[in-house]
Amino acid sequence: MIEELNLATAEYFRRILQQIDPDPNREGLRETPDRVAQAFKFWTSGYNKDPKDVLKTFEDGASVYDELLFQGGIQIHSLCEHHIAPFFGVAHIGYIPNGKIVGLSKLARLAEIFARRLQVQERLTCQIAQALEEHLDPLGVGVVLRCRHLCMESRGIQKSGTITYTSALLGAFKKETSARDEFLKFVALADARTPNL
């Protein structure tokens, strides 16, 4: 089934090349449809992954930890669903455990699962937060994404370097000022240390 999908994707892109390049059979383009099919297989690999498979929880260690756990500067790459153009940036993710924690690499893996789908930044932000809330039942979840979108930088309004921020705050981060302030302070620190996009 996957191999048939790759062949179909390559054939579709071969037809697109015939529409946009006067010589679609030249050497430089000869293998492009197959490479594009493989690239799209990778860029959209998040559809074949389930967040619950990476969010294995541990109770050991969580019983004594009830403060903010934060990871900042997680690099993400995705495709805008409106133009199939790349957008990229960083995710800042935090949660307050409620008796369960996940391995540290799992936050980046979770962001990757949802980023490797056709997306809009707003949905991507919410999906990361909602998956953490669903599988960890934490006291609070916060997600902030800082991204650049080539759909608006390389076409349309063509405003290079524009940064789009989105946030999703759940539980304590939404209801309690002190928790939200602590999370946003960590976001600011992470942004200051994260290289410019």
Q: What is the CATH number of the domain that holds 133?
A: 3.30.1130.10
pLDDT tens track for 31-70: 999 999 999 999 999 999 999 999 988 887 777 888 999 9
Write down the pLDDT at residue 86.
97
Marked catalytic residue, from 11, 31, 59, 81: 81
Would you call 121 a catalytic residue per the annotation?
yes
Q: pLDDT 10s digit of each residue in the chain, 197 long? A: 457 667 888 999 999 999 999 998 999 999 999 999 999 999 999 999 999 999 988 887 777 888 999 999 999 999 999 999 999 999 999 999 999 999 999 999 999 999 999 999 999 999 999 999 999 999 999 999 999 999 999 999 999 999 999 999 999 999 999 999 999 999 999 999 987 77
Q: How many domains does the chain have?
A: 2
Residues 67 and 164 in one domain: yes
Would you call 3 a catalytic residue per the annotation?
no
Would you call 81 a catalytic residue per the annotation?
yes
Would you call 80 a catalytic residue per the annotation?
yes
Marked catalytic residue, from 75, 83, 130, 176: 83
Residues 38 and 54 in one domain: no
Would you call 135 a catalytic residue per the annotation?
no
Residues 90 and 187 in one domain: yes
Residues 108 and 76 in one domain: yes
Residues 54 and 39 in one domain: no
Marked catalytic residue, from 71, 92, 149, 182: 149
Q: Please, what is the average pLDDT of the chain?
A: 94
Identify the domain containing residue 122 by its residue range: 50-193
Would you call 112 a catalytic residue per the annotation?
no
Q: What is the pTM of this model?
A: 0.93
Write down the pLDDT at residue 2.
53
Residues 61 and 8 in one domain: no
Residue ending a domain, choose from 11, 27, 43: 43
Residues 104 and 159 in one domain: yes
Would you call 38 a catalytic residue per the annotation?
no
3-state secondary structure the chain: CHHHHHHHHHHHHHHHHHHHCCCCCCHHHHCHHHHHHHHHHHHCHHHHCCHHHHCCEECCCCCCCCCCEEEEEEEEEEEECCCCCEEEEEEEEEEECCCCEECCHHHHHHHHHHHCCEECHHHHHHHHHHHHHHHHCCCEEEEEEEEEEHHHHCCCCCCCCCCEEEEEEEEHHHHCHHHHHHHHHHHHHHHHHCCCC
Marked catalytic residue, from 80, 127, 135, 182: 80
Residues 63 and 116 in one domain: yes
